Structure 1
Amino acid sequence: MSYMYDQKKRSSYQRKKTEEKKEINPYKPITIPLSQYFNDPIELYLPEKKAYKYAKDLLGANNHQMRKVLDGIKEAKAYVEANDFNLAKKTVFVLVAMSAYNAGREPKLKQLYYFVESVINEKSIVSKKDIITLDELFTSIIAYHKQLGGNKNA
C-alpha cells in the first residue's frame, strides 16, 4: 500500500514539475500573411507603435542575437530579390529553430524566440511580400532596440 502511495505522490510531483517548466508564449501567432497583418505603416513603424513596442519587449535580448536574426532575414530578402522564394522561406523558417536553440542555451533570449515563433510560420510567410514585410518590421525593431538601449552584452 505504501508503494502505491509513493507512486501517486511521485507522479503528481512530476506532473507539477512539468507544468512549471511549460511556459506560454505571450505573443499570439500571426495566422494571416505578414503583408496583410502589418499593412498600416503608421501603426507599424512610428514611435510608440508596434515595432517600438516589440523592441521594448525584446530589451533583454543582446544586440548580437538580434543582429543574427536580422542577418537571416536579410539573407532571405536577397533570395527573394533573386526570385527564389522557396529558399527565402526556408531561410526564415530556420530562424525559428535557431532562436529556439539560443533560448535553450540562454534563458534571457526566450522573449526573442517567442516573438520569432509567433511571427514566422507557414500561415504568415506565403509570398515574397511577406519576406519584405518581415525585413522592414525587424529592421525597425532593431532600430528602436538600439535607441532604447537594448542589452549590449553579448
Structure 2
Amino acid sequence: MKKLKTPEGKEGEGSLKDYPIRILVQHAQTFGPELKRQRLETNQVRKFLDAINQLKAKLVGNDFSVIETEVVLLKPKLAYAAARQDAVKALNRVMSEAIDKVHSKADFDRLVQLMESIIAYHKAEGGK
C-alpha cells in the first residue's frame, strides 16, 4: 500500500500546515478507498474521531499549548486500535506521521482536515 505523503521539513520534522490542501484532498481521495478495501469500519476509529473533535472544541479561544499534550497522546489511542484491528494499521501509520508534524493550531487544523477528508472518501467508497 502507498504511504500518504506529508511535507518533510528539516530532519523529518516538517509542519502539517505546509501540506497543500489540494494535495491533501488528492491523497485522501486515494487513501480513503484503500481503507475501505482493508475493511476499515468507522466505528473502529470512533474514539479517535471523538478525541479529535473534543480537542477541536477545547482549542476554541485557547492557545495550542492547551491541547498539545493531548494531541501527542492521540498516537497511543490509534496504536491501541491498530493492535485490536488489522484494518486500522494503515490509518495508524498515516495519522501517526501527521500527528508528529502538529506543532501549532494551524497544524492541528490541517490534521482535522486530513482526518475528515480520509473518512469522507472512505464513506463515499461505501465504507461503514
Residue 113 of structure 1 aligns to which amino acid in structure 2?
Answer: N
How is 1:5-154 mapped onto 2 (pairs within 5 angstroms)?
26=3, 31-36=13-18, 38-39=19-20, 41-45=21-25, 49-59=26-36, 60-121=39-100, 124-150=101-127, 152=128
Cα RMSD of the aligned pairs, angstroms, is: 2.2
The alpha-carbon distance between structure 1 residues 27 and 77, as it changes in their structure 2 partners (threshold 3 A), is same
Q: Is the 8 A contact 1:99 1:113 kept in 2?
A: yes
Which deviates further from its counterpart, 25-34 or 132-141?
25-34
Partners of 1:79 and 1:85 within 8 A in 2 = no
TM-score (norm 2): 0.79
Task: Please tell me whether the aligned partners of residues 73 and 91 of structure 1 are also in contact (alpha carbons under 8 angstroms).
Answer: no
CA distance in 1, matches of 2:126, 2:47: 18
Structure 1 residue 102, shift from structure 2 partner: 1.4
Structure 2 unaligned segments of length 5 or more: list them: none
Query: 1:131: how far off?
Result: 0.7
Q: Cα deviations across residues 54-90 of structure 1 (Å, max 9, x unaligned)?
A: 2123223211123332222222222221314123222
Runs of 4 or more, structure 1, over 6 Å off, are none
Give unpaired runs (5+ residues) of structure 1: 1-24
> Are the counterparts in 1 of residues 63 and 105 from structure 2 also a CA contact under 8 Å?
no
Q: CA 1:35–1:104 in structure 2 vs 1: closer, same or farther (change >3 Å)?
A: same
Q: Max radius of gyration: which structure?
A: 1
Q: Classify 1:94/1:28 alpha carbon distance in 2 versus 1 (closer, same or farther; 3 Å).
A: same
Identity of aligned residues (%): 33
Q: 1:42 to 1:112 in 2, by over 3 A?
A: closer
Paired residues, what number?
120
